[in-house]
Chain A
Amino acid sequence: MKIPFIWTAIAAGLALLPVVLPSNYYLGIMIFIGLNSLAAMGLCLLMGYAGQISLGHAAFFGMGAYISGILSVSYGFPPWLSVIAAVTATALLAFVLGVPILRLQGYYLAVATLGLGIIVYLVFMNWTSLTGGPSGLSAIPYLALGPLSFNRDLKVYYLVWAVVFLALACGHNIVKSRVGRALRSIHSSEIAAQAMGINTGRYKVKVFALSAAYAALAGGLYAHYLTFISPAPFGFQFSIELLVMVVVGGIGDLSGAILGAAVITLLSEILRDLMPHLFSYGAGEYEIVFFGILLIVFMIFLPGGLVQGLDFLRRRPRVMAQR
């Protein structure tokens, strides 16, 4: 496979970035961008390529985190094995749930996935003996490969971004293959796809499971990076944030998910710093106003997201010249 120059440049830039970052705080943000990118790429495969919406993707992220955390804390699994087990289990569960859910379309699918997300969140909250309930699960071990323990932000940074690029390459290969063409045909017209002999039901369920696996992988890495998890970050709000990342980056483009994750994660950090100076009320999630407005503005004015916008800017001089 030929790797475009821009990706080599981005990878090199990311590899050198820790040298110039002034503190671990920024490294932490970069790790979160990576984790969010993974989950957003999963959602992008589902939404952008297969045209199916999910308003409950935080649930899969949370399941990855919880299953991996519980396996390594309560059952003594080595962390890397528990992450693999968590990703597999989440993908299997998504596959099983996907069979009935993905028969639904449009609003029905949206609200079914939303309901699924809320139910999973409530299980995290209420199954106290297993999940620790609202107070969460702590003392999750760091990931380790033989003698190499991912106990420092710098090591986790390289690990997470290596995984992101691997996942991007995987996703890219999938969407360029026969499977990807089948998925896009479902997006354009499910009936036409069926008429061409594509088993649309099976493809939709498979891509749903794959996108859940992406989110679960992000969740597993998250759990072993922070070593503490609680239900709060895996609620409806995070499902919406993932949606915002995909929409802002560009629904129809996997690399857009990374761009969207970067923009939204940075934006929410900046807003979180800025907002308390502007509003006197205590700590609130003020940034959600901006996410709401971003969603509307992008859907109306730039449905292809930032990736399409950048592409347009890059091509415009040529278009102008042709006139």
Chain B
Amino acid sequence: MTLLGSQILQYVLSGIVVGGIYALIAIGFVVIFNVTGIINFAQGEFVMFGGMLAVSLNQAGFPLGGALLAATLLTALLGALVERAAIKPAKTASISTQIIITIGASIALRGIALMIWGTDPYPLPSFSDGPPLVVAEAAVVQQGLWVIGVTLLLLVGLHAFFHRTLLGKALRACAYNSVGALLNGISVSRMSLLSFSLSAGLSAVAGIVISPITYATYDMGSMLGLKGFVAAMVGGLTSIQGAVVGGLLVGILESLGAGVVSSGYKDAVAFLVLLALFFLKPEGILGGKAKA
């Protein structure tokens, strides 16, 4: 294989790993948007809290597995708290107002994290030790495989949840038609709460699996959240499959852009993709009717 070829392959593989993270975060956006019609700009902070809480719990003596689970559940609880404190009181407000409120929640949460943990980056141990997987001269670290594996597992789990359980079906009902759902005895308010919890938990998992690679810091959430949002938008904002495709696309393009063009403009890639998409095809590549 040529040198350039193997380099490109390496960028694509790294892109898939990061893309898996973006996909998880993007799904979080989609779940909330479908049920409540809100774009939650605080999504990235759930990612950060997941990572930070896992590190803290692990350092406090919890075994790794327990710390991960506890961090996910705590973040899901935080999601519920945000919904009750900031989202519910502004249920009927205009879109601009809701944007501003979730931005407010985002910077408040980031500030709280800054007060608790300071500005230092915290390491989380890799889930498994071992040599990187080598595919045709390109390597993926073991944690990268965990990222891909966890993403796939969650996708299967989410599909089962949304299609096989009553609760999942109730969430989908709200996404299709909230008035209809209400008439069938589904508490839309409770589903909104649940969607925030579920979405926060998903984002926490994203933050936890990425932390061994990038370390956890109080401000890791803002960029990850925005990229996840871009991924969700690329996928049309209402479909989980779209979110996954969007996440992988953004991850791979960003990795290629950073490697081939310039690493300084890495963070610009996602937004350039998004702006290009807005101008060419505003409904997203897989856009369509609401589908949870």
A-to-B contact residues, CB < 8 Å: 47, 51, 53, 55, 100-101, 104, 106-108, 110-112, 114-116, 118-119, 122, 125-126, 236, 240, 243, 247, 279, 281-282, 284-296, 299-300, 303
The distance in angstroms between the C-alpha atoms of A193 and B60, with both chains bound, is 60
B86 touching A107, Cβ below 8 Å: no
The distance in angstroms between the C-alpha atoms of A100 and B276, with both chains bound, is 10
With A284-B119, A299-B93 given, is the CB distance from A236 to B103 under 8 Å? no
> How many chain B residues touch the partner (CB < 8 A)?
44
The distance in angstroms between the C-alpha atoms of A290 and B229, with both chains bound, is 25
B-side interface mostly: helix
Residues of B within 8 A of A115 (CB): 230, 270-272, 274-275
Of B85, B230, B279, which is within 8 A of A111 by CB? B230
Complex: chain A residue closest to B42, CB-CB: A292
A-side interface mostly: helix
Of B112, B114, B222, B267, which is within 8 A of A285 by CB? B114
Residues of B within 8 A of A108 (CB): 233, 278, 282
Q: Lowest 5 A-B CB distances belong to which pairs?
A: A292-B108, A289-B111, A295-B104, A115-B271, A292-B107
The distance in angstroms between the C-alpha atoms of A100 and B278, with both chains bound, is 9
Residues of B within 8 A of A55 (CB): 99, 103
Which B84-115 residues have C-beta < 8 A from chain A?
85-86, 89-90, 93, 95-97, 99-101, 103-112, 114-115
Q: Mark B261-283, 1 if CB is under 8 A from A, else 0.
A: 01011011011101100110010
The distance in angstroms between the C-alpha atoms of A55 and B271, with both chains bound, is 13
Which B216-260 residues have C-beta < 8 A from chain A?
222, 226, 229-230, 233
Q: B48 on the interface (CB 8 Å rule)?
A: no
16 contacts between A and B (CB under 8 A): A51-B96, A53-B96, A111-B226, A111-B274, A115-B272, A119-B271, A122-B267, A281-B114, A288-B110, A290-B111, A293-B108, A295-B101, A295-B104, A296-B85, A296-B101, A299-B90
The distance in angstroms between the C-alpha atoms of A115 and B108, with both chains bound, is 21
B275 touching A289, Cβ below 8 Å: no
The distance in angstroms between the C-alpha atoms of A101 and B262, with both chains bound, is 26
Complex: chain B residue closest to A297, CB-CB: B104
Of B39, B105, B278, which is within 8 A of A112 by CB? B278
Residues of A within 8 A of B110 (CB): 288, 292
Complex: chain A residue closest to B82, CB-CB: A296
The distance in angstroms between the C-alpha atoms of A100 and B274, with both chains bound, is 13
